[in-house]
A and B are shown apart, each in its own frame.
Chain A
Amino acid sequence: MRAILRRYLPALVLVILVVAVQITLSATRQEFYMTQLTMAAYYTMVALGLCLLMGYAGQVSLGHAGFFAIGGYSSALIAGLGAAAAVSIPAAVLVTAAAALLVGIPVLRLRGHYLAMATLAFGIIVLRVLQGTPFFGGADGLSNVGAYPLFAGLAISGRRALRVQNYYIAWSLVTIGLLLAINLVSSRVGRALRAINGNEDAASAMGVNVARYKLATFVLSAIYAGVGGACLVHFSAGIGPGEAAVMKSVRYVALVAAGGMGSLSGTLAVSAALTFLSLRGVFGLYDDAVFGGILLVIMLFAPHGLPGMLAGVRARRSARRSAS
């Protein structure tokens, strides 16, 4: 029983923090922060999915911003088609999943550098197509995207009056995403993924269908990204091709690396914090440089991310203590 509680602890902490932050902000009349916090939540969905892909299946993707953009643009366009409004996000998720399958099947057989370049190329292709096609709004992107109706009168919308509601919608989505990910990681599939990461040939010999699991994880991580994009487009009432930019993809990788590669809670914490700060403009003109720098420092000195670094410090300290 206690083991189960420990497993879901990050989700519990998340819920408590989310509520606490909201109460604090409302009480201090600083609710305007919620807009960036809501956006940060949707970007964090991408990081969560990427954590599953990079940290557990051990595959790199330098083009995940492309899936975020595909999700967003799809939802906007489908909603604009005049179909039942509620269809747009699920349909967008399907489109994103299909794109991930199409890209993943040929590309996931590649190793290391080749996979990285292939996913990078995919991201740039998405970017160029979005920039260069009038149907997608070209360099200006899409705007005037309507709200997305949920149940019980709730809606994903950027209207000021619905600010608090949308904050909770966004972070509830992240919480659900986190719970599903935690479950997956503790399951037979999660074990198989970690085995693939540990020793691919041995995993295969033990009955794990490596190719299928890599592909499924890739598609799942793309779905996370697509959901984030599809929701954000309704919250921001628009989207631009910049969401597919290379720097965005690199940022997501930086967030996962800094969060500890295989650590869902670490990735979530780092992503929420840094994305929020970036959206607030705290890093100013040095925004990209900050993420590049973080990535560099983490990869040079703490390739297992901050949690790994902390674990290393703790281990060294206790070793020193037992030696003295």
Chain B
Amino acid sequence: MIDPHLEVRGLHHWFGGLHVIDDVSFQCRAGIVKAIIGPNGAGKTTLFNLIAGALAPASGRILFDGRRIEGIPPHRVAARGISRTFQATRLFTGMSVLENVMVGRHPRMRGGFLAGMLGPAVTAGSERRARGYCMEILEDLGLAALAPKEAHSLPFGRQRVVEIARSLAADPRLLLLDEPACGLNPTETEEMAVLITRIRDRGVTVLIVEHDMSLVMGISDEVLALGAGRRIADGTPREVQSDPDVIAMYLGDDRA
């Protein structure tokens, strides 16, 4: 019996009086793409923020590789091998594409203030290796030519790919993608789907929040449906697609 890669148990969270995550539990095996769907306000991004450490849950457990990670700060979550992107692209202003990606490599590099001040004598090797690794990622994603450009000067679609490159730089084992297709045209969405599949094929577990149903159904191995903070359904795309509760949630019905 293999430990599930990511496990969420009995998670609860409130914003003021609003019960935004209501007893959510699910598992995610290693090496699959699992999509989280649900209408706006269902708690999808909140769930991501709880997993990634940006929020500490009111109660419940989150386990990664069997170890508890709920409530630990984002930078330590990153060090454990979980990387993320954001719904609204958050590239670093005033830095180039390559520099952005190299920040992503931060947890896998060494060298603090003292080493930094002593300069190339101490850090040249580590910098060269990191730069090489990040350039490989950029080449793999077709962004190599854009490496020296200021990240914010890129067209929107390219910026989203840069953010994914950045999140891959730390060699994560779990990748959280928050609406990666948001704002992309059909061609770009298609490319994004291919990219996500390739990431999965390299052995990275991908958890993706997404509204684009064709993307979700096309590439996901499993789907989790959230509604009003609660888990509505969890299974293969086909199962979830035909689940009556899920259909009711999206179409609304007299029972509501």
Contacts and interface: CB of A to CB of B under 8 A. Distances in A.
Task: State the main secondary structure of chain B at its contact with A.
Answer: helix
Interface in B103-153: 103-104, 106-107, 109-113, 115-120, 123, 126-127, 130
Interface in A161-210: 179-184, 186-192, 194-195, 197-199, 201-210
A4 interface: yes
A127 interface: no
A258 B152 CA distance: 25
B54 A203 contact: no
A186 B109 CA distance: 14
Nearest to A197: B94
Interface in A1-30: 4
A205 B103 contact: no
B154 interface: no
Given A199-B93, A204-B74, A209-B75, A189 B103 contact: no
B103 A191 contact: yes
A195 B92 contact: yes
A183 B118 contact: yes
B161 to A, nearest CB: 16
Contacts of A277: none
Contact of A203 (B92, B110, B115, B126): B92
A91 interface: no
A208 B75 contact: yes
A194 B113 contact: no
Interface in A88-131: none
A220 interface: yes
A198 B92 contact: yes
A247 interface: no
A309 interface: no
Contacts of B115: 187
B103 A192 contact: yes
B66 interface: no
Contacts of B103: 191-192, 195, 203, 206, 208
Given A183-B119, A194-B94, A202-B92, A210 B112 contact: no
Interface string B78-97: 11000110100011111100
Interface in B157-188: 166-167, 170
B86 A202 contact: yes
A279 interface: no
Interface residues of B, number: 40
B99 interface: yes
Given A195-B92, A201-B54, A202-B92, A207 B107 contact: yes
Contact of B170 (A189, A191, A203, A206): A206
B102 interface: yes
Interface in B26-69: 52, 54
A322 to B, nearest CB: 16
Contacts of A183: 116-120
Nearest to A177: B117
A73 to B, nearest CB: 26
Interface centre among B86, B119, B127 (most CB of A within 10 A): B119
B73 A204 contact: yes
Q: 4 smallest A-B Cβ distances: which pairs?
A: A198-B92, A183-B119, A187-B116, A207-B107
Given A187-B123, A206-B78, 5 more contacts: A188-B130, A194-B99, A198-B92, A206-B103, A220-B113
21 contacts: A180-B117, A184-B113, A184-B116, A187-B116, A189-B116, A191-B106, A192-B103, A198-B91, A199-B91, A199-B92, A199-B93, A202-B91, A205-B52, A206-B78, A206-B103, A206-B104, A206-B167, A207-B170, A208-B103, A210-B75, A216-B113
